[in-house]
Structure 1
Amino acid sequence: MDYITIAVQLIVGLSILNVWLIQYNKNTQWRGGDATTIKEEFAAYGLPVWSLYVIGFLKVTLAIALICGIWFSELIKPAAIGLAVLLTGSILMHLKINDPLKKSLPAFLFLVLCLLLIFVL
């Protein structure tokens, strides 16, 4: 079970870091509305600019905490809970603007993985 838990932590943590640190200004098929960057995506959701920085900081911090949980297991559940809340918000934003369900798939997948870390692993 330990290897599965570590794999899930790395998948979620590294994926979120990829989105927020590497893909930040890049167009992907998962962006909300017609956005080509995260900043445009938050605008499409009708969110204020400051929320981009708050949510980005929280997601990056929690992703790092989730990865650090490999060595400090007490970080896993709080990080997974925080990410689960934020990922639920991501899904709700896609639904708010009537995005195709496909665009919510990454957030939904990572939410499920966080819920596994919280309740199963």
Structure 2
Amino acid sequence: MSILSIVLQVILGLGFLMFGFMKFGSKQMVEGFKNYGYPGAFRVFTGLIEVIAGVLVIAGIWSEGFAAWGGLLIVVTMIGAIMTHIKINDQLKQMLMPIILLILGLVVLLINYGSLFE
């Protein structure tokens, strides 16, 4: 496993754990999802997916297959986030973080791709 992948996994893992847990009750996240037009259950579901992705990429430090699956979850989740920002006509600067996270998740996925189906 490359040092680049490990560094990205730690950054993504901690970030996705933090933001995933925030989706369970943070006032800012509750208001954000209302603004997006999504129900509270979808906010909680999204938080759960983000926590799982965070755990997987961190566990991927020891098992590359977990890193690949976590990277895939991050990519899919960030595509959804970007589509949401497009749906509500946000400016590019509001999409910048999901775009960056999409790219970082894609890098982790590609580095560990060979372990995806092991």
Q: How many residues align?
A: 111
Higher helix share: 2
User: Who is 2:83 aligned against?
Assistant: 92
Q: Runs of 5+ in structure 2 lacking a partner?
A: 113-118
Identity of aligned residues (%): 29
Q: Which runs of 4+ in 1 moved over 6 A?
A: none
Cα deviation for residue 60 of structure 1 reads 0.6
Cα RMSD over matched residues?
1.8
Q: Deviation string for 1:28-66 (max 9, x for gaps)?
A: xxxxxxxx6111111111111110111100111111111
Q: CA distance change for structure 1 residues 22 and 51 in 2, over 3 Å: closer, same or farther?
A: closer
Stretch deviating more after TM superposition (12-21 or 38-47): 12-21
What amino acid is aligned across from residue 11 of structure 1 in structure 2? I
User: Who is 2:40 aligned against?
Assistant: 49
Aligned mates of 2:22, 2:73 — CA distance in 1: 21
TM norm structure 2: 0.84
TM norm structure 1: 0.82
Aligned mates of 1:56, 1:96 — CA distance in 2: 20
